[in-house]
Structure 1
Amino acid sequence: MRKSRADEFMEFAAGRTGHLFRSACLLTSGDTHLAEDLVQETLGRMYALWGRMARIDNPSAYAQTVLVRTYLTQRRRRSSGERPLAELPESTSGRGDDPALRVALLDALARLAPKDRAVVVLRYWEDRSVEETAAAMNVSSAAVRTRSTRALARLREQLGGDLSELAAAV
């Protein structure tokens, strides 16, 4: 018996939601509520395109691209009612070995520009190539390399010796 499109999408969504959520958490510097919204928006857009997915070679990679572009679009038109916090709230997820390291890394990521953060997440969290990252962000490969170099330098500057001290404590 052939699966309906809705069943196929539900199977796809169930398999990709966790991965998309983890990426969204990194993009949003640990804001789980915004990450959930990004994943919902991404899955909604994917569902709208699901009938035409036969033309897309890798739906998982396409979903990741939709997630990053949705994040960048939301960052550009962020509501004036939103107020960034000076410090990250305490994490209640219970995941991870060292909360201090997690908070330090998320705080450092939060200080990066949205496009720089997207490059770091795609290149080093998602382990994508320069070309794949460029395609996901709709920029040139040179722009990805430049942003990557500058973002990593900024992260090193922000974390300095703190990162080695935090990592040693783990």
Structure 2
Amino acid sequence: MNDESDAGYLEYVSGRTPALRRMAFLLGGDEHQADDLVQETITKLYAKWPRVSKVENVDAYVHTMLVRAFLDEKRRGWWKVSLRDAPPERPAPAEPPSEEKAILRAALNRIPARQQAVLVLRFLCDRSVAEVAQLLGCSEGTVKSQTSHGLNALRRILGDRVGGVL
């Protein structure tokens, strides 16, 4: 890439990283995973930047890349290889999540990744059905059915807690 293209990429990434990180955190519920997803997304974006910078809605394109990275991560999670004998020690979180957030996150982690992505995008990221369909590359009907199935799964998992959490 030339210097002008690099400057445009850096300006875009600098301005959008906090929003990308927030979306990634809402999708995965883990700060480290969010950082990994954003890093993977912006690395792939750099390779495609000369072409992507010319599309009409760069944000939608990048959000689609991020959601696909999340879904890919969920699909390939079973074969990840750790290069360490033991997991690294993690610092204690600065502020523990509220009980309701922890319950909701645990329930979200128990439903299929695509339903999880739809629910997070629809209700935590406040995206419309059309926007979610575009991000996931599916029809609006699929988004609606995945929303319904996901909410039903959460209701089954949470049982009596639904009123307090959802």
Query: Under a length normalisation based on structure 2, what TM-score does the superposition of the two structures give?
Result: 0.81
List gaps (5 residues or longer) in structure 1.
84-88
Aligned to 1:15: 15
The alignment partner of 2:155 has SS state of helix
The superposition leaves residues 107-134 of structure 1 with CA deviations (integer Å, 9 ceiling, x where unpaired) of 1111110000111112122222222212
Q: 1: distance between equivalents of 2:43 and 2:140?
A: 29
By how many angstroms is 1:159 displaced?
2.6
Distance 1:46 1:158 in 2: 37
Decide whether the 8 Å contact of 1:120 with 1:151 is kept in 2. Answer: yes
Partners in 2 of 1:76 and 1:125 — Cα distance?
22
What is the CA-CA distance between 1:90 and the residue it aligns to?
9.4
Q: Which residue of 1 aligns with 2:105?
A: 106
Report the alpha carbon displacement of residue 79 of structure 1 after superposing the two structures with TM: 4.2
Contact 2:20 2:38 in 1 (8 A): yes
Name the % identity: 35
Summarize the alignment of residues 37-116 of structure 1 with structure 2, pairs less than 5 Å apart.
37-81=36-80, 92-94=93-95, 99-116=98-115
Q: Secondary structure at the match of 2:56?
A: coil
Give the distance between the partners of 1:39 and 1:11, measured in 2 at CA: 16
Residue 145 of structure 1 corresponds to: 144
| Structure 2 letter corresponding to 1:148 | T
Secondary structure in 1 aligned to 2:79?
coil
Q: Which amino acid aligns with 1:41?
A: E
Could you say what the CA RMSD is over the residues aligned between the two structures, in angstroms?
A: 2.6
Distance 1:148-1:50 versus aligned 2 partners, 3 A rule: same
Contact kept? 1:26, 1:106, Cα under 8 Å? no
Aligned length, in residue pairs = 157
For 1:68 and 1:53, how far apart are their aligned partners in 2? 17
SS of the equivalent of 1:78 reads helix
- The alpha-carbon deviation at position 165 of structure 1 amounts to 4.5
Question: Which residue of 1 is the match for residue 85 of structure 2?
Answer: none
C-alpha separation between the residues in 2 aligned to 1:14 and 1:93?
A: 25
Tell me: CA distance 1:52–1:131, structure 2 relative to 1, closer, same or farther (3 Å): same
Q: C-alpha deviations, 1:36-62, integer Å up to 9, x for none?
A: 111001111111121123431121221
Letter in 2 for 1:121: V
CA contact (8 A) 1:130 1:144 kept: yes
Q: CA deviation at 1:75?
A: 1.7
CA deviations over 1:117-159 (Å, ceiling 9, x no partner): 1111121222222222122112222111101011112223323
How far residue 166 of structure 1 moved from its aligned partner, in angstroms, is 6.3
- Normalising by the residue count of structure 1, what TM-score does the alignment of the two structures yield? 0.79
User: 2: distance between equivalents of 1:165 and 1:125?
Assistant: 16
Query: What per-residue deviation string (whole Å, max 9, x for no partner) do you get for residues 60-101 of structure 1?
Result: 221111000111122222243469xxxxx9971438xx6212
Question: Are residues 81 and 61 of structure 1, via their aligned partners in 2, closer, same or farther at CA, if it must alter by over 3 Å?
Answer: closer
> Aligned partners of 2:165 and 2:130: how far apart in 1?
33
